[in-house]
Structure 1
């Protein structure tokens, strides 16, 4: 048994996220060069090959979209049953969730403003399927009544078979709520959905490992088809994410610390800077959890509350991945496909950012949140998969700043709530903190390493 476990761990460790990130960026460059070459010499065979590679990768992503949406929402809603445990815990949990929602609201608004100014993706109109784009155009140009009329499917199978993502979201919410209300009676169904979600995540992980090849095909074909102007939207997407995250990280959080938590921003960043650096490099909130939890304790937050709030924040409080990025990426993808977003769609983006992360507690990530956001907007699965696949070309660069913002928020909110609840010790806050024990643990390279690191603390 131990031998089998060790073998499984060695298998997982072979996947090195840093090497993978370099491979994705290298494929971006190589794909662009191949696309430029194919365009310059009019090499039809090369353009066809690049298109085939990119389309295959996109199709692999497409078939995971609807099952991921359904299982993520059902599992997320039913997992809310585990929140509780006394009036004090309920009050702390409620106020923590309220601050999660409030800061997510601010973050998504900043993301929308930045994206509205920069307009990433504008001027480059992709045409994957005109019928799908026409249906999206009708949905986005319509009224609230049109949106409501399109929510309810004629039957459950049709919603999945026809790729009606908005209907799948609606059905998922209804079924998730029903399972939640049934309690223990629905436990077998909940376990089945949890297992199905885990299976989809595993399949998705295998597909994502093909991202370097898929990126080469998608970017290569895009450059061969559209020329050099394809890079400006990606540059704007990257710049927009970094700008919005910086505004939250260096603007919103310091204001909350100064005026609500009565904690000097300089003191906060002095005690958390090493943690933020590790988050930036590791690109993993889960891997940073032991460090961020200790940093919150070093800030004077009561340890018992920190042990509750920081792990909860790690799976729920992701301003970078679950608020800023879905807002900017949604506008980026809409612009690329020539889809006009109206007031209803902007409100939808805000609602998903504020409530979606809480509703999917424990399964939240940038891919899940962006998929849920695009689904709520009514984008067809093909548009969702194509847009995400293109954005994935620069994802390693984006993920560093997103994760750093996530982790900062995961430490700021518990500090704010602790101050307001009288759970913050100013003497501990003023005392110098010991450096994090980074060298004592091996750097995490997969899910098993993350679990081991968490278990040690």
Structure 2
């Protein structure tokens, strides 16, 4: 059974058990079930999983960011393609999270209300002034930043260190290889922690539903609807408008030709795993020259996380509303800034968005435990987010190639482009198969 299926089963069982405890009256204060099962076993399992996520944040961001910056290559050779790609990826991510926050703040308060239990259990810290947020991006003490988990400072230092290593050149190659190995090790650690997600989902949802009942499920449905709406709005609205504005090309052709990559991204929930399929779709079907696509597609899989940024925006608004926390303008601007910067370090593997979300929560003063409320539905939504990310990679690749005159317009506009190669292979296979059949019949 796949991890997605396990998480969905765990979610369903957790909700059923939570409702049974809640509606059956077993959650009375001081009772055995409430004391030792809900407040004991479920609480411990859920808390351990959330703590494991927090444990991964600092090293994952640090190594991922440095690895991502080093993956760009020689700064002097980046040229216009690198600057354009980076600018467009950051632009789409900023627009994505801004739209997500705007839609969430308009819709979520209309269909959900703060929970009295969660509001009473959590008191938010006072949000810092906007000027203080920008000033504190630069760490006065790097060791202290890592020890306290100040993510904005860690992100700033990691990017600066990565650029410095690029400037050092060949002398830093061995260190760069070491960072890459450590980054891969962190990815494996994420896989290990996420393998325990079904058990954690069961415990967290059973505890939450047993305490909040049907009210939580109704509010969770609002979160899912808003997140899906924000993802679709960005996919069919923002990205297609950007494509048409910069290239004057028909966006429906791109949506048709990138479908294979979208389906593969949806099934794997991994931008990195989809790179070969995305590269083929972008070069063979959309007409982007390989000199551009070979840079923009892997680069986008590393730093272009529009779907993840949208999830962070919607989840932040949702959890803040559930806990009755008023973030204010400064809080939302901090979320946008954090999400844009964190997208550079959000590796293209399943489940890593939750770790980045815990980083955002800590920065704006929201309880990390709130992730447990959305964890059950996140795996399925992660599949949609990855499809949005891959589409963004294709759009930016096309825009950059068009601006550099490295886009074959006739190939882009030809509906059957890229399918001929497959048909030719099929014909070769049929001929070989016919020869084998003929040979077998002759021997018989």
2:184 and 2:77 map into 1 onto residues whose CA distance is 33
Contact 2:66 / 2:159 at 8 angstroms: preserved in 1?
Answer: yes
2:347 and 2:387 map into 1 onto residues whose CA distance is 19
- Aligned counterpart, 1:258: 244
- How far is the alpha carbon of 1:405 from its aligned partner? 0.7
- Aligned counterpart, 1:111: 100
Contact 1:55 / 1:218 at 8 angstroms: preserved in 2?
Answer: no
Contact 1:54 / 1:214 at 8 angstroms: preserved in 2?
Answer: no
The within-5 A match list for 1:193-204 is 197-204=183-190
2:248 and 2:132 map into 1 onto residues whose CA distance is 47
2:51 aligned to which of 59, 62, 79:
62
- Aligned counterpart, 1:98: 87
Cα distance per residue 1:114-147 (max 9 Å; x no partner): 11122276422554995xx44x332x2x423665
RMSD: 3.3
1:101 match: secondary structure: helix
Contact 1:50 / 1:221 at 8 angstroms: preserved in 2?
Answer: yes
- Aligned counterpart, 1:207: 193
The within-5 A match list for 1:228-377 is 228-297=214-283, 298-321=285-308, 323-358=309-344, 365-377=352-364
Seen in structure 2, the aligned counterparts of structure 1 residues 119 and 79 have a Cα distance that, compared at 3 Å, is same
Deviation larger for 146-155 or 389-398: 146-155
Seen in structure 2, the aligned counterparts of structure 1 residues 187 and 234 have a Cα distance that, compared at 3 Å, is farther
- How far is the alpha carbon of 1:54 from its aligned partner? 4.2
- How far is the alpha carbon of 1:96 from its aligned partner? 0.7
Cα distance per residue 1:198-248 (max 9 Å; x no partner): 444433322322222211111111111111101122111211111011111
- Aligned counterpart, 2:418: 434
Deviation larger for 285-294 or 407-416: 285-294
The within-5 A match list for 1:40-59 is 40-43=23-26, 44-47=31-34, 48-51=36-39, 52-59=41-48
2:343 and 2:61 map into 1 onto residues whose CA distance is 11
Seen in structure 2, the aligned counterparts of structure 1 residues 150 and 354 have a Cα distance that, compared at 3 Å, is closer
Please, what TM-score do these two structures have when normalized by structure 2?
0.80
- How far is the alpha carbon of 1:328 from its aligned partner? 0.8
Gaps of 5+ in 1: 1-15, 441-457
Cα distance per residue 1:272-311 (max 9 Å; x no partner): 2232223223322222221111111121111221111111
- How far is the alpha carbon of 1:415 from its aligned partner? 0.4
Deviation larger for 73-82 or 186-195: 186-195
- Aligned counterpart, 2:399: 416
Deviation larger for 110-119 or 180-189: 180-189
How many correspondences in the alignment? 408
2:270 and 2:347 map into 1 onto residues whose CA distance is 16
1:179 and 1:413 map into 2 onto residues whose CA distance is 24
Seen in structure 2, the aligned counterparts of structure 1 residues 42 and 186 have a Cα distance that, compared at 3 Å, is farther
1:98 and 1:156 map into 2 onto residues whose CA distance is 28
Seen in structure 2, the aligned counterparts of structure 1 residues 149 and 403 have a Cα distance that, compared at 3 Å, is closer
Contact 1:74 / 1:176 at 8 angstroms: preserved in 2?
Answer: no
Contact 2:23 / 2:213 at 8 angstroms: preserved in 1?
Answer: no
Seen in structure 2, the aligned counterparts of structure 1 residues 78 and 221 have a Cα distance that, compared at 3 Å, is closer
2:171 and 2:263 map into 1 onto residues whose CA distance is 45
1:137 aligned to which of 120, 125, 128:
125
2:78 and 2:186 map into 1 onto residues whose CA distance is 33
1:394 match: secondary structure: helix
Contact 1:253 / 1:412 at 8 angstroms: preserved in 2?
Answer: yes
- How far is the alpha carbon of 1:350 from its aligned partner? 1.4
The within-5 A match list for 1:70-89 is 70-73=59-62, 75-77=64-66, 79-85=68-74, 89=78
- Aligned counterpart, 2:8: 25
Seen in structure 2, the aligned counterparts of structure 1 residues 341 and 190 have a Cα distance that, compared at 3 Å, is farther
- How far is the alpha carbon of 1:257 from its aligned partner? 2.3
1:241 and 1:194 map into 2 onto residues whose CA distance is 33
1:119 match: secondary structure: helix
Seen in structure 2, the aligned counterparts of structure 1 residues 186 and 45 have a Cα distance that, compared at 3 Å, is farther
Contact 1:276 / 1:407 at 8 angstroms: preserved in 2?
Answer: yes
Gaps of 5+ in 2: 426-444
Structure 1 position 123 matched with structure 2 position 114 = yes
Deviation larger for 34-43 or 177-186: 177-186
Structure of greater Rg = 2
- How far is the alpha carbon of 1:113 from its aligned partner? 1.2
Cα distance per residue 1:353-378 (max 9 Å; x no partner): 33332356778942343233223324
